[in-house]
Amino acid sequence: MTPKDYLTVSQLTSYIKAKFDRDPYMQTVHLVAEVSGFRNRGKQAHQYFGLKDDQAYINAIIFRHVFSKLNFDLEDGMKVQVIGRISLYEKSGRYSLIIDAIQPDGVGQFYVRFEELKKKLTQEGLFTFQPKPLAKYPKKIAVVTSPSGAVIRDIITTCRRRYPIVQIVLYPTVVQGEQAAQSIVKNLQRADQSGAYDTIIVGRGGGSIEDLWCFNEEKVVRAIAACQTPVISSVGHETDTTLSDYVADQRAATPTAAAELATPVLKDVFYQLGDYRQRLIKSQTNRLDYFEHRLGQVKQSYLFTQPEKLYDGYRLKIADLDKQLSEHMRQKVYQHKETFYRLYQGLYRVSPERKIVDEKHRLQQEHADLCQSMEKQLKDIQHTLSQRIGQLDLLSPLKRMSGGYAYVSQNGQSVLSVTTLSPGQNLDIQFRDGRLSSQITATYKQEMVPSAFLKGQGDQKKRSKS
């Protein structure tokens, strides 16, 4: 082949573009797809983004005259119905779908997942909390982001410009792909558990919803919420919002804004310190002047020039109190005199001398009555005693024995009947003036006779036996 047979790149792209422009199937294309990587540039600007499904992706363009007429807000992750044409941009060799009409067709899968997780965490109360205050003058800041992205460079540049004395520590982190969520959680926990940092910045640059999706993962959101160190979220561009933004203590639109939130301007701090110093000096000077003026006034007061006047009020008060005391004592003495006079009159009316005489007479009478009563009672007792002695004398065994009676016993037991005795037994017989021992030689039993008779016979038998 000769050199004339070779095409240039521009010739090839022009040919392909002509193919797209002339193909009737490419002039009107109807698609159902999910919006990806959309960032609103304003109603008067062209909009560049992507359309995708589960297996493919295509660039899309909406020119400003079409975008300005939309009656809804186009959002990343939204599922749409699109009518447009395929065209090729020759300089880059990339083909795109030029959108002529677009309308919503529900929401995409990422948007559904986003809303479901947001609703779940909202019900748990994870988004309702009191944000931790950021350190006003931080010493160390941990940055959880990719080591190769623009995020860390922007943060370092901004901090060096604003607050060069702060130390920035990078935790290299995967911020896109399947391993991103685990990497973010791990480095967040490392930074927070070390306890060495005043602030943690977590984030990455802009991208499509699928690029930023790791910051919508539940474990990442919970890891940020569990941090004891204040966290600043800086994910995507200003219009991008992730669930991590809802649980962070502060949300920054860009990495530069995150660095500005985390650090003060050192020059402003020095200026503020100088201002505080001047204000303090002025305040103390004014205070010293005020006290000096007060001291001069006090020195010139009459209390120091004529100190005896200080006690004039006390003298008057003491004189008044002395007068009140005298009047009070006079009234008390008068009241006590009145009381004493009333009591004296009462005692005079009830003089105890008469009562004493009456009581003496009554005492003498009662004494005489007592003596008479005791004498009579003693005579009654003596008469009763004589009667009792006579009665006892009548019952005395010795007196009966003096009439010829005797007491018969055997071995210390009384003998009541002759039937209990037998010849040869010994008996003890007690008389009034002595006792004798005898032995039975014979016993005689006789019929019962009147007691008066038995009494005489018994006495006779006893005398005959003895």
The CATH number that applies at residue 123 is 3.40.50.261
* Domain contains 117: yes
* Calpha distance 90→21 (Å, rounded): 13
Residues 158 and 233 in one domain: yes
pTM attached to this predicted model: 0.47
Residues 133 and 149 in one domain: yes
* Domain contains 280: no
Q: How many domains does the chain have?
A: 2
Residues 81 and 190 in one domain: no
Of 234, 264, 294, the domain-final residue: 264
Residues 132 and 250 in one domain: yes
Of 245, 264, 283, the domain-final residue: 264
Sign (positive or negative) of CA dihedral 308, 310, 314, 319: positive
Tokens 């350190």 correspond to 135
Residues 116 and 99 in one domain: no
* Domain contains 456: no
Of 264, 287, 320, the domain-final residue: 264
Residues 94 and 133 in one domain: no
Asked if residues 168 and 201 have their Cβ atoms less than 8 Å apart, the reply is no
Residues 134 and 231 in one domain: yes
* Domain contains 175: yes
Q: Which residues pair with 89 in a beta bridge?
A: 94
Q: What range defines the domain where residue 128 resides?
A: 110-264
- Helix (H) / strand (E) element for 430: namely strand 426-431
Residues 147 and 256 in one domain: yes
Q: What is the CATH classification number for the domain harbouring 81?
A: 2.40.50.140
* Domain contains 369: no
* Domain contains 85: yes
Residues 133 and 257 in one domain: yes
Other Cβ atoms less than 10 A from the Cβ of 127: the count is 15
Residues 124 and 253 in one domain: yes
* Domain contains 225: yes
Residues 20 and 136 in one domain: no
Residues 133 and 100 in one domain: no
One digit per residue, the tens of pLDDT, for the chain of length 466 reads 666 678 788 888 888 888 777 777 788 889 989 999 888 888 889 999 999 988 889 999 999 999 988 877 888 888 888 999 888 887 888 889 999 998 887 555 677 778 888 899 999 999 999 999 999 999 999 999 999 888 999 999 999 999 999 999 999 999 988 899 999 999 999 999 999 999 999 988 877 777 888 999 999 999 999 999 999 999 877 777 889 999 999 999 888 999 999 999 999 989 989 999 999 999 999 999 999 988 888 777 766 777 777 777 788 889 899 999 999 999 999 999 999 988 887 777 777 777 787 788 889 999 999 999 999 999 999 999 988 888 887 777 777 777 677 778 888 788 878 878 888 888 888 777 788 888 888 887 765 545 444 444 444 444 444 4
The set of residues, in sequence order, having a beta carbon less than 8 Å from that of 218 and lying 6+ positions away, is 117, 121
